[in-house]
Amino acid sequence: VSALPTNRTYAEQLDAGDPLARFRNRFVRGDEPLIYLDGNSLGRLPAATQARIAELIAGEWGRGLVRSWERWVGLPSEVGDLIGEHLIGAAPGQVLVCDSTTVNLFKLISGALDAQPGRRVLITDDDNFPTDRYVLQGIAAQRDCELRTIHTDQDEGLDEETLAAALGPDVAVVSLSQVAYRSGALADMARITGLVKQSGALVLWDLCHSAGAVPVRLDDCGADMAIGCTYKYLNAGPGAPAFLYVRADLQESLRQPIWGWFGQRDQFEMGQAYDPVPGIERFATGTPQIIGTVAVAEGTKLLAEAGIDRLRDKGIALTSYLIHLGDEWLEPFGFRLASPRADARRGSHVTLFHQDAWRISRALIAAGVIGDYRTPDRLRLGPVPISTRFCDVWDALDRLRQIAADKSYEALPTEISRVT
């Protein structure tokens, strides 16, 4: 029997002692009494971001017009450096904000394949995020290479022995997520990176569910490449640009396939032959989206102010509290934890298995709690550290046990009708 209390007073005590509690008020909230446990899908709107975008639009676009490119043109690498310093452990000159996660993945994997002509195998795992798997399938279909997809347990995450067995002298790139989108399982980046590099392959980490949620140490781990999105934990808004990381001493030998004018040396000379700039900006393609890029800057600064280590501590506290209440309340109703139980092996979200997860997720929304359904039988709850209270977790789980107990969800349609 767990020692933690299950009464709401305890949650209130945890909130009272939370050093990050004040950050909740840095986000815009409506009048609706909403419990939002899906900031790991689309993060909340920081008030500073709302103000900064309004200022950018009125001042820099509206009045500054084309002259503002003087300041905009450096933003992708400046904001990349911010992410590098505060969130993903990358020294300056290795991170660029650009394009989408999907496009960045395509660029880096293609480049890494071209850089190693003797190695024709790509590795990923079958529980990697869909776009990661599809991009690799597309490259394998078009290029002379093979995609080797290893099996990953949907609850527990990557198995290092399975990965080790798949490595070999024919492998060019291993592409993995640091935190699994479904289970929240946190991979050991340092050990896996070492394993892959020992085999002579390059490793690419997808940080979509880890950047801003757990401390990432790309440089320390010797990681080769990484990509990630900014609309989850970085709170940069729907479709804000993604980022990519390429280790400094790999940049020269990696040539990405989309040769655009923003990667060109002396861009406005508009010369005949493409000649990529030295450094991380050679991974740029077309004109960067500026509104989204300043939103990334604001979101990153807010996380930096909170501090990634404190965010990680709170993330563990929130998710372990959620697991505790789930154990106490939900198991009799057919729920089962579908995330790693050990704190050190989990990111900032928790997934519960239930065979009726779809209808329960709908009933939960009707009860004012937004979580996330993941096909076919998973309820994903993301109490993102910067804006979630322990009381939110208590209230959400309390409503969930009521829904489970009264079986009101059984009146809902079983057909899945969803877009996210």
Contact with its own copies (CB under 8 A) among 89, 184, 228, 292: 292
Residue 109 or 221: the one with the smaller Cβ distance to its own copies is 109
| Residue 380 · residue 373 · CB < 8 Å | yes
Tokens of 36: 């939002």
Per the rule left: phi > 0, alpha: psi between -120 and 50, beta: everything else, 5 is beta
CA distance 282 to 275: 9
Residue 166 or 317: the one with the smaller Cβ distance to its own copies is 166
Contact with its own copies (CB under 8 A) among 200, 257, 334, 368: 257
Which stretch in 84-92, 166-174, 290-298, 349-357 sits in contact with its own copies by CB under 8 A? 290-298
Residue 24 or 133: the one with the smaller Cβ distance to its own copies is 133
Residue 124 or 339: the one with the smaller Cβ distance to its own copies is 124
Contact with its own copies (CB under 8 A) among 33, 63, 161, 411: 63
CA 418 to centroid of chain Cα atoms: 21
Residue 191 or 259: the one with the smaller Cβ distance to its own copies is 259
Tokens 């039988």 correspond to 377
Instruction: Write the interaction track for its own copies spanning residues 381-420; mark x where CB under 8 A is met and - where it is not.
Output: -------------------------------------xxx
**Those residues with Cβ within 8 angstroms of residue 60's Cβ, 6 or more apart along the chain or in another chain:** 68, 71, 72, 290
**Those residues with Cβ within 8 angstroms of residue 266's Cβ, 6 or more apart along the chain or in another chain:** none
Contact with its own copies (CB under 8 A) among 6, 50, 320, 408: 50
Active site residues: 129, 206, 231-232, 380
Query: Binding to its own copies by residue 229, rule CB under 8 A?
Result: yes
Contact with its own copies (CB under 8 A) among 8, 19, 57, 91: 57
CA distance 16 to 24: 13
Q: Rg for the chain (alpha carbons), in Å? A: 22
Contact with its own copies (CB under 8 A) among 33, 117, 161, 272: 272
Query: Binding to its own copies by residue 290, rule CB under 8 A?
Result: yes
Contact with its own copies (CB under 8 A) among 160, 259, 278, 309: 259
CA distance 242 to 262: 16
Which stretch in 2-10, 85-93, 320-328, 369-377 sits in contact with its own copies by CB under 8 A? 369-377
Site for its own copies in 100-119 (CB under 8 A): 100-103, 106, 110, 114
Query: Binding to its own copies by residue 180, rule CB under 8 A?
Result: no
Contact with its own copies (CB under 8 A) among 5, 55, 58, 341: 58
Please state the closest distance from residue 355 (CB atom) to its own copies, in A.
17
**Intra-chain end-to-end CA distance of the chain, in Å:** 37
Site for its own copies in 15-34 (CB under 8 A): 28-30, 32, 34
Parallel, antiparallel or unpaired: strands 350-353 and 369-370: unpaired
CA distance 339 to 323: 9
What is the SS3 string spanning 227-267? EECCCCCCCCCCCCCEEEEECHHHHCCCCCCCCCHHHECCH
Sequential DSSP letters for 190-237: HHHHHHHHHTT-EEEEE-TTTTTTS---HHHHT--EEEE-SSSTT---
CA distance 39 to 240: 14
Site for its own copies in 323-362 (CB under 8 A): none
# chain residues binding its own copies, by CB under 8 A: 86
Contact with its own copies (CB under 8 A) among 4, 8, 25, 54: 54
Please state the closest distance from residue 195 (CB atom) to its own copies, in A.
25
Please state the closest distance from residue 305 (CB atom) to its own copies, in A.
20
Please state the closest distance from residue 341 (CB atom) to its own copies, in A.
24
Please state the closest distance from residue 77 (CB atom) to its own copies, in A.
13
CA distance 231 to 40: 8
